[in-house]
Amino acid sequence: MLRKSFLSLMIFGWLVTAGLLVIHSTAAYAAARKGHTVVLGAARRVAYTKAGDPSGAAATDTELRIRALIVDGALKEWTTGDPHDVTDRSFVVRRVMRINDVLPENSTTETKPADGKGITHVEKPSDNKPHWVWQRGPWLLVDRVNGHITALKLPDYDPGVSQPVWFRDYAAYCGVTASGKSLYAVVAQIAVRKAVLSKKISEWDRESPAMPACAAAEWQRDPLRVSFHPTGRDVVSFALAPGSAVLVEDASDDAEPAQTAPAQTPPSKQP
């Protein structure tokens, strides 16, 4: 009888321990799967000129509307313009950067006595006030679930010329080749290295360019077409071969710093 009671107590103890382990594991899993909070803060205006951003600003620009990109209560990036939802969990938005504009000769300098000993003398030039300027940067892909922020590398993208118009995971814009001599109609797809569409529109004169180079592109869903509006030229339209999105949304919950989007194999056929 005593032995049976002892066995019953042992079995009960094992069951209680197993139950506690299950509860602990479930709680740990739930904590690990906890979603991240990703928000864009309230808009504010900052001084913005062509002198501070020669490539991205127009001659008439005087201010820029920016918003903070906040992940789990922490400021990660500054952004400008409207975001575009690519999927139900990922969106794209353009980054803006605050650049140090102090000239090297206006930086603080340090000098030491000739014998190398004693107190270091710090010289501060009269024009040594902090000077920061805002510049438009690359587009960012933001995942609301895991908090990842990825800098997109769009082909032939020029910050002063290219104004992407997004549809699904495609961006249509006018781009400039690396040589700076040609203006192209470009359609890029997220996570694809090569452009889905890349067609020359005209020669490009970087010294005295027509600005804006193109008006906003226009998308058509069925059949899938995109039209470009280069300044001073006729509208050019292209049919695109419909394809599926190739964006892979990582299931990991660990937030990561901004990084360049990985290259993947482009669609099998271009129009």
The mean of the pLDDT values for the chain is 79
Is 60 exceeded by the pLDDT of residue 178?
yes
pLDDT 10s digits, 93-107: 999 999 998 888 765
Contacts of range 216-225, beta carbons closer than 8 Å, 24 or more positions apart = 216/163, 216/165, 217/165, 217/172, 217/173, 217/174, 218/165, 219/165, 219/167, 219/170, 219/172, 221/167
Tell me if 126 is assigned to some domain: yes
Tell me if 251 is assigned to some domain: yes
112/120 Cα distance (integer angstroms): 5
Do residues 111 and 120 make contact, with C-beta atoms less than 8 angstroms apart?
A: yes
Tell me if 125 is assigned to some domain: yes
> In this structure, what token pair is assigned to residue 208?
């005295």
Tell me if 135 is assigned to some domain: yes
Please state the domain count of the chain. 1
7/138 Cα distance (integer angstroms): 68
Query: Mean pLDDT, to the nearest integer, of 1-10?
Result: 54
Model confidence at 24, pLDDT cuts 50, 70, 90, reads very low
pLDDT 10s digits, 40-66: 999 999 999 888 988 788 888 899 999
Query: Mean pLDDT, to the nearest integer, of 195-223?
Result: 90
71/69 Cα distance (integer angstroms): 7
Tell me if 254 is assigned to some domain: yes
Is 70 exceeded by the pLDDT of residue 10?
no
Is 90 exceeded by the pLDDT of residue 175?
yes
Model confidence at 25, pLDDT cuts 50, 70, 90, reads very low
Query: Mean pLDDT, to the nearest integer, of 228-249?
Result: 85
226/238 Cα distance (integer angstroms): 6
Tell me if 165 is assigned to some domain: yes
Model confidence at 182, pLDDT cuts 50, 70, 90, reads very high
As a whole-number percent, the residues of the chain with pLDDT over 90 amount to 51
Tell me if 46 is assigned to some domain: yes
The confidence score (pLDDT) of residue 236 equals 94
Do residues 162 and 174 make contact, with C-beta atoms less than 8 angstroms apart?
A: yes
Closest CA to 85 of 27, 3, 166, 6: 166
Model confidence at 124, pLDDT cuts 50, 70, 90, reads low
For residues 198 and 160, which has the higher predicted lDDT (pLDDT)? 198
Is 70 exceeded by the pLDDT of residue 31?
no
Range of the domain at 93: 36-260
For residues 268 and 36, which has the higher predicted lDDT (pLDDT)? 36
The confidence score (pLDDT) of residue 11 equals 57
User: What phi-psi label fits residue 128: left (phi over 0), alpha (psi between -120 and 50 degrees) or beta?
Assistant: alpha
Model confidence at 251, pLDDT cuts 50, 70, 90, reads low
The confidence score (pLDDT) of residue 19 equals 53
Model confidence at 13, pLDDT cuts 50, 70, 90, reads low
Query: Mean pLDDT, to the nearest integer, of 22-27?
Result: 46
All residues at 6 or more sequence positions from 14 whose CB lies less than 8 Å from its CB, including other chains: none
The confidence score (pLDDT) of residue 105 equals 72
Tell me if 10 is assigned to some domain: no
